[in-house]
Structure 1
Amino acid sequence: MASQLFRPIDLGGLTLPNRVVIAPMCQYSAVDGDATDWHTLHLGNLALSGAGLLILEATAVEPEGRISPDDLGLWSDVNETALARVLETVRRHSDMPIGVQLGHAGRKASVRAPWLGGGQYPLGERGWETVAPSPLPMQQEDRLPLALDAAGLARIREAFAAAARRAARIGLQAIEIHAAHGYLLHQFLSPLSNQRDDAYGGTLENRMRFPLEVFEAVRAATPAGLPVGVRVSGTDWVEGGWDSEQTVAFAEALKARGVDFMHVSSGGLSAAQRIALAPGYQVPLARAVKQATGVPTMAVGLITDYEHAEAVVAGGDADMVALARGILFDPRWPWHAAAHLGATVKAPKQYLRSQPARYRTLFES
């Protein structure tokens, strides 16, 4: 039987050649938000992998929205020009669809890169004041974030829309709004981090209000045929926090507003989270969204085995499988999966001679 993982899929007018997605992965290698030579190397490598879609790392919509001072950004003309230059180089050698994840770190901003130990930078030492729905820090040792007022909400909402316009202008082919992993939009969704008493806090309807406003602003800023999706954490893994039932309600509200895909992950909001890691541990969260809404859905998280990835799609748990750290470890994972599953995959002409004799039909002609 033909592989289901390597069937095409349409996302709001963008056709992917297969259902293997490269998930956003922070590189902490930008300069003032500008993409660098590292991004050319990194993205160029992944763009030769044969995956169906490559989504750029979390890209900040304003300087204060960066996770670290070294994050990619798309808030200025200079950022736009730098990223356009990288994309131009990559596209000379690959026609893989490329999207971008737009985000704002909220209270999780102003931190060191992982290889520098993480933790917030002090003010005056590359650090800045962070913002959040409520003045509640992520870690006890973190600075208290400033609670966003109406002007701050309006500024960030427009920043998402402006970044979306820039993304469309430089030819990015999909936009994913980051509402997962404890970053700003997730902070609004979860009752653990959102303790407001205005129209943006309290009930589920109120907690969803700002993320939905951001989605509407981005959707209105992008042309028809450019898919807009949302990445969510299906659960906080903390009692009394955000959970799968609320995620489904959020996905249904997004569907009513024209969302083109959902990317379901989990966690990242609370230091109290307790996660039982296992292959496919987040797949049930994706399944719940897909079954309730019918929106094209990506599953992600410790899916590294080819048969497992095939089963996730073939069994109807999700429409796509997203790879992150696994594809950094094995940048030719889609080639190897296609060979194992008897499918075909695109490869650059310079690499066609690498095809092993036992896989003579692996590469598309």
Structure 2
Amino acid sequence: MEFGWESDHLAYRDDVVAFLDEELPSHWHGATAVLGSRENVAYSRRFAGLLAERGWLTPHWPSEYGGEEASPWMLAALGEELWSRGEPRGPQYMNANWIGPSIMAHGTPEQQSRYLPPISAGNVVWCQGFSEPDSGTDLASLRTRAERDGAEYVVNGEKIWTSYGDVAEHCYLLVRTDPQSERHQGISVLLVDMPADGLEVNTIPGVVGEHSFNELVFRDVRVPVENRLGPEHEGWAVVREALSFERVGAPRWARAAFVLNEAIEAALSADRKLDEVALQAIGVAKSACEAARILSYRVIDERARDLPPSPHGNMARAAMVQAERLVAEACLTIDGPETLAYGSRADHQVRKSLAAGVAAGTYEVQLNLISRLHLGLPKG
């Protein structure tokens, strides 16, 4: 089968590219383009507002929530172009791709009317409170607890590696509401408004970028019961659906492919000869990007046909990790030590590749899920 984009998708992509060519060069550089920096977050609000004006921030949302009911393929075209440029939406991509849809699917009318309009307008920052010091790769072992006290939950515990936690206005928080439960049972999702009394946010220096990682410490933080998303104790189903959108909602392979092509073009324009080792690394990396693209499209096709989440999302996520890592290796082969020049595109790719296997679910966990859910192997 030969895959090709439909004419309306191509026209839409051309419009997006023209807008990006005009908007980004004079604004999207230096500290502005560093993931998690305050400059990045400030610019993402401006940029997301411009997208919202054009109907491009949440085009896939239903019209009643400020969207245009665009197809998953239209959303994929938009995501590819934005991610190839380094994702100038910043934290807004989380809001548009999975936090907003999760609130649409499981929120009360009051939650939807309160939280969705700011997301569709591009003027709010969310963070996700998932990983914990002792349960980063295994969310079901979380220990952060929320005890019911009348019309409120009292939350105690810690979350870690929380991107944008120091600048977010809301947190999509995973907690255990039944202290007697184990694993996937007794978990709930709370929508926490920040800042909150008893909530301490500590920035963790990281290789990916300024403010990319934060620790959230909850000490008797009170959250109204009306801020619970979905039924009590049944939050695992809510968050599992959200994660299925997160895993391919960010086409990281598009950024990796973009960086690789730029590294090749820079080398050729400087009349630097690419030896056999470099050519082999380039070939392997390009193949990995193409594999990640095709596997991602398989998930998009499932969404376009309204099929439930499947292990294909885990496979696409694992393939994207491989693509990011192999492109980083190819950049090192092409440019050598110059790749480590701070601030360069290739340097950013190398640093991102170091964390590629952690974001949106660790690489190893994805492989375990693939072995069980797709290959039918027993749990080890």
Q: TM-score range by the shorter chain?
A: under 0.3
Q: Could you say which structure has the higher helix fraction?
A: 2
Higher RCO (CA 8 Å, separation ≥ 6 residues): 1
TM-score of the pair, normalised by structure 1 = 0.24
Q: Which has the larger radius of gyration?
A: 2
